[in-house]
Structure 1
Amino acid sequence: MSHVVPVPATPSVPVVGAQLGDTFPVHRIYCVGRNYVDHAIEMGHSGREAPFFFMKPADAVLPVAEGTLGQMHYPSVTKDLHHEVELVVAIGRGGRNIPAASALEHVYGYAVGLDMTRRDLQGEAKKQGRPWCSGKGFDESAPIGPVRPAAQCNVGAATRIELKVNDSVRQHSVIGKLIWSIPEIIEQLSALWELAPGDLIFTGTPEGVAAVVAGDTLSAQVDGVGSLQVRLVAR
């Protein structure tokens, strides 16, 4: 069987310690909304609401090798681009209705990522009760560092997550402040969709989200997982 148009390349992310050329192929990108209390408050919400999810296209990933400076193009049709630093979970074994008690058995590894957001477009979509796709799912909206295998990570309540913009700290928290833990997220997601190897889960962002402009350099870090540096450039 042949195809009538060229087959798109599979988006992928480098893996720490893998053989040369081996990568983590991206199947789907799931994102958890408002999963830190203080971020929920700064967005006008409070409390431990039921988790909700949105998605980005797999090819929205912008892989950046650790120790290098990636480039992200400032997206079109926005004047209010926001940063959101997140711990990313890479799924290695899929399934449906995965119980939280065994959820970590399905995790291949972790990475640090950015959920970049056209906040003005997202805000307008919210007001009109429309989907967030234009605000969240645009090209290069998911910069990500290399995936580090779970056995090489030490992700726990005290794990620090941080984002600097031009060397100034904007976001700073610990993973223990997630409203819904990683096992709980996997349990909830797998009840809605069958998870598959290659899925990435952006687990939520701490407080401190704010606008960035072309020329800014974003430096993200999750202790024991990795780092990510991206410079915004004009098209």
Structure 2
Amino acid sequence: MSRTITVKGVGRVSTPPDYIVISMSLEAQDTNYEKAMEQAALQIDYLNKALESVGFKKKSVKTVNFNVRTDYERVKDRNGNYKSVFNGYICNHRLKVEFDFDTRRLAQSLSAISKCLAKPELSIAFTVKDPSAVNKKLLKSATINAREKAEILCEASNVALGDLLAIDYNWGELNVVSRTEYMLDEKCLAMPMGAMADMDIEPDDIDVSDTATFVWEIR
């Protein structure tokens, strides 16, 4: 039976963000289904027009999630018994708009969104345009790290590192997002665009890590 050595390689990559994602959440509610849907459609129209006014192309806003549900409230009657009372239909719409890293364009976008009648909830993420490139660097880093560890262990044990026999890797999705939080109060969003555009920020680098397990023959 051949002797083997199993080593876990750890890959680490640090990269500056080059892409911005603005996530938006809209909610429309009405006791009439058609009116709830009309309100939801109107909100999206407001949002699209607001972003088109600052240079975005039509249909730049993409849907991430869309759902319609019924809403009920538990109410106690005069006899002390609870019953469900229909409140209406709630339409939730999660959307996003993405663009290359540009703090001035970010300020323009937030200013336009704040002025539109849809009034969505916002969150901003600083990420990378090509996550697969980061993943490739991670895998190379993990491979080099594992090989170095294996060679050190073999040298210290007075054995030779042989052929690579197996690689075990879990293809999970990486969260390639900067830890920098960008939050503005609603009153700040209402500031003139010029004041917001002057806020030039430099987000923290994105730090990601991943692992892979390698099995070598030892001689």
The answer to whether the superposition gives a TM-score over 0.5 is no
Q: TM-score, structure 1 length as denominator?
A: 0.23
Q: Tell me which protein shows more helix as a share of its residues.
A: 2
Q: Tell me which protein shows more strand as a share of its residues.
A: 2
Return the index of the structure with the highest Cα Rg: 2
